[in-house]
Chain A
Amino acid sequence: MDQHSLLFQAMVYLAAAIVFVPLAKKMGLGAVLGYLIAGIIIGPSLLGFIGTEGEDIMHFAEFGVVMMLFLIGIELEPALLWRLRASILGLGGLQVILSAAAIAGIAFLVGQPMNTSLALGMILSLSSTAIVLQTLNEKGWMGTAAGQSAFSVLLFQDIAVIPMLAIFPLLAGNAAAEASHTHSLRDNLPGWGQTLVVLGAVAVIIIAGRYLVRPIMRIIARTRVRELFTATALLMVVAIAVLMNLVGLSSALGAFLGGVVLANSEYRHELESDIEPFKGLLLGLFFIAVGASIDFKLIMAQPWLIMGLVIGIMVLKGIVLLILGKIFKLNLDQNLLFAFALADIGEFAFVLLSFTSQTHLMSAEMSAMMTAVVAISMALTPLIMLLYEKVIQPYSTRSEVTAEREADTIHEKNPVIIAGFGRFGSMTGRFLRANGINATILDLDSDRVDALHNLGIKVYYGDASRYDLLVAAGAADAKMLIIATDHPEQTRDIVKMAQRYFPHLQLLVRAENNEDTFELMDLGVLHIYRETVDTSLRVGVDALRMLGQRAYHSERAARTFFRQDERTLKGLSALRDDKKQYINSMKERIEEMEKLISSDRIKTWLDEGQGWDPETLRDEIRGESEEAAP
């Protein structure tokens, strides 16, 4: 493939995505379906912009699935994974075994040989991690009971691929196996050695994630070169995938494990936001490739057989899922979502199918036909999810987030995000923490992030003015954003970003000085906190007290002064807006200070508190004979 055709292809893929995804979204079909439609249209069956190389691209784009599992892992804390163990092993295990058995049984009954039937059962029992999770995420159903169950099952399926790959050569007979097995380090080792290699690889991921990543990230952070972060994040995922391939394990599973290990790391949000765009693009590419791989000629040749197979398999899997959902006590609407989501056949089937034709477990024609069946079922998934959303969900009375499962949600999101955890933000953060309010903390000083992390405080490294980092920090679900960074310009960037993309967030913003306050007022920020005002006034209060003034009077005087000052500042801000000019010169700053000081002389606070010792009342009583107040 020369340079030009590569660029041309990139252009075709990107253009197709840009044209069809927004269209699909507009029609309420969702992004996944948009990509699939784009793939079908530019694929060999329709426009023919891309030919048979679509399959290579699919293998390449499968890396998007690896990244997605890394991201899922990083959002999933080990403790939560442990809590999900029952549904992963129980629900997931039963789903794979029962579906595989049912499909294999029927295949055997219609006359397929035993080994082919078993292979078919195993291949078709899997569901599409990419499409299902992407669609669940897109619709915001990940946190629901059905979403969690689906996730558990998909996780188990990813694990189950490993023994399946090991069983296939056995089904095919030893002769075929030797010719076909993908090369890995395990090949020439005895059974115990293979186990050792696999365990070793897992141990490498865990140990590296625990002890190696943080020092490396710290060094990278110190360079303050942004793209190095992205490079490091990518390298991590790629390295995991390479290591897993080397020992013959699923790279998606390895990436998931790597993600889980890093879930408690302070660099979590940074890693998330670095990987996210790559994942998105690669998954999009993957879906396009799936769309393009649908062989319409083959389908046209035997339309009824193929559609029958698709519907038959999906109905069968759906029934198994419904029964399992019932056993695992899902509500009816959740159970339907669970069944609809997982009734499709997954992308691993492509891998396994090519494997079966190599090992002569299946004829080439049958393999091609099954590939078409798999692709169609994947393409149907977003459609049936849409059907669920539009037809079934409106009729279900229960909300999708059922109360009893709420504690299990995958995303642990805090109501408060604090940007900047220096001497200012740390005080606010500590205060909130002391009052039982957990905040997600973002900071740009890697040394500080490390130190705080060692204290067990959840701090994440990253620039809060980046949209993706705010997303990763949970800005969509948070209630407020406290901006306490040291640099006014960065503060304003964060404010603009938050106002634009997360208008629901309450903004509490630290300001450096009056000038900075004016800028923030111009941006429409309501809650502005000038950083030294309170301390200066506290010094003033103590000075008054030490000079012999009453404590209560001093405190009230400070509060009155503060209110007065804020009012004056607002007045000045309005004045400044009228003139449409900025106060730049020192001379103008001094003039502003003069205005402030002259307004102080009004000393209204001295007149407050009349009620406590009313001169007027005494005057009145002295003038009359009658007694008035107590």
Chain B
Amino acid sequence: MAKVLINFAHPALEKSRVHLQLVHAIKNIPGITFNDLYEQYPDLDINVAREQKLMEQHDIIFLQHPFYWYSAPAIIKQWLDLVLEHGWAYGHTGKALQGKYFGNVISAGGPEQSYHPEGHHGHTIHEFLLPFSQTAKLCNMHYVAPYVIYGVHRQDISDIREDAAALAQVLEILSDKNFDPAPLPRLNYLNQILQLPAQTR
């Protein structure tokens, strides 16, 4: 049984258009633990023991955040720095996360074609996410294909609601008892799981 943990980070959710809708759509899905980092740690003092215990209790762990400056809001860095301890997450004796699935759920301002060697940003989003995928690898986790919502700057509220519904659907599939996460790292985007035939999921 796959249990899904979402570590969510948005420093100004009250002003956000996209994530406010996403959070609203997903936070009450059964089988999902929604962990709002800025709400939990407004002073950025991460409770490492709590965060580690949460990770231990779940099989699939997502970081959900806006893709600020090709990366994540500050608290995500703080969280990575403090929670993924040597001897627990990595190193000779650090096997606590072995075999778990780890990925990003992000919103990007630019459209998909801008994240391309010839595009405005010069690299694919997968290239930009390298620090996260390598972090997962070092911690003996499988890096799941990223869930990306592109072009949010141009979206209006109905587009965003559609995005939110799609994400909710994906998470419902992942948190299903019988779901096998093994194929997830082989996808290009986690979004594609909706296009797969139901029996192969």
Contact = CB atoms under 8 A, between A and B. Distances in A.
Interface in A586-630: 609, 612-613, 617-618, 621-622, 626-630
Interface string B15-27: 1110000000000
Interface string A551-565: 111111000000000
A627 B111 contact: yes
Contact of A617 (B16, B111, B153): B153
Contact of B67 (A553, A618, A627, A630): A630
A617 B68 CA distance: 13
A621 B109 CA distance: 9
Contacts of B121: 627, 630
A629 B109 CA distance: 7
A627 B38 CA distance: 29
A549 interface: yes
B186 interface: no
A618 B11 contact: no
B78 to A, nearest CB: 12
Given A617-B153, A628-B109, A630-B109, A612 B11 contact: yes
B124 to A, nearest CB: 13
Interface in A24-78: none
B108 A630 contact: yes
A550 B39 contact: yes
Contact of A630 (B15, B40, B110): B110
Given A626-B120, A627-B111, A551 B42 contact: yes
The B interface is mostly helix, strand or loop, or mixed, namely loop
A612 B75 CA distance: 13
Q: How large is the interface on A (under 10, 10 to 19, 20 to 34, 35 or more residues)?
A: 20 to 34
A549 B14 CA distance: 8
B43 interface: yes
A552 B11 contact: yes
Interface string A4-16: 0000000000000
A229 B39 CA distance: 56
Interface in B42-81: 42-43, 66-70, 73
Given A621-B109, A630-B70, A612 B12 contact: yes
Contacts of A556: 42
Interface string A526-561: 000000000000000000000001111111100000
Interface residues of B, number: 29
A627 B110 contact: yes
A609 B38 CA distance: 14
Contacts of B15: 609, 612-613
A621 B153 contact: yes
Contact of B14 (A550, A626, A628, A630): A550
Given A553-B12, A621-B153, A627 B39 contact: no
B170 to A, nearest CB: 22
A628 B152 CA distance: 12
Contacts of A627: 109-111, 114, 120-121, 151, 153
A555 B12 CA distance: 12
B177 interface: no
Given A612-B68, A630-B69, A630-B70, A554 B42 contact: yes
B111 to A, nearest CB: 6
B153 A613 contact: no
A551 B14 CA distance: 11
Interface in B71-120: 73, 108-111, 114, 120
A551 B67 contact: no
20 contacts: A550-B12, A550-B14, A550-B39, A552-B12, A552-B38, A553-B12, A553-B14, A554-B42, A555-B42, A613-B16, A621-B153, A622-B153, A626-B120, A627-B111, A627-B121, A628-B109, A628-B120, A630-B67, A630-B110, A630-B121
Given A554-B42, A612-B11, A613-B17, 9 more contacts: A552-B38, A553-B14, A556-B42, A612-B10, A621-B153, A626-B120, A627-B109, A627-B151, A630-B108
Interface of B: 10-17, 38-40, 42-43, 66-70, 73, 108-111, 114, 120-121, 151, 153-154
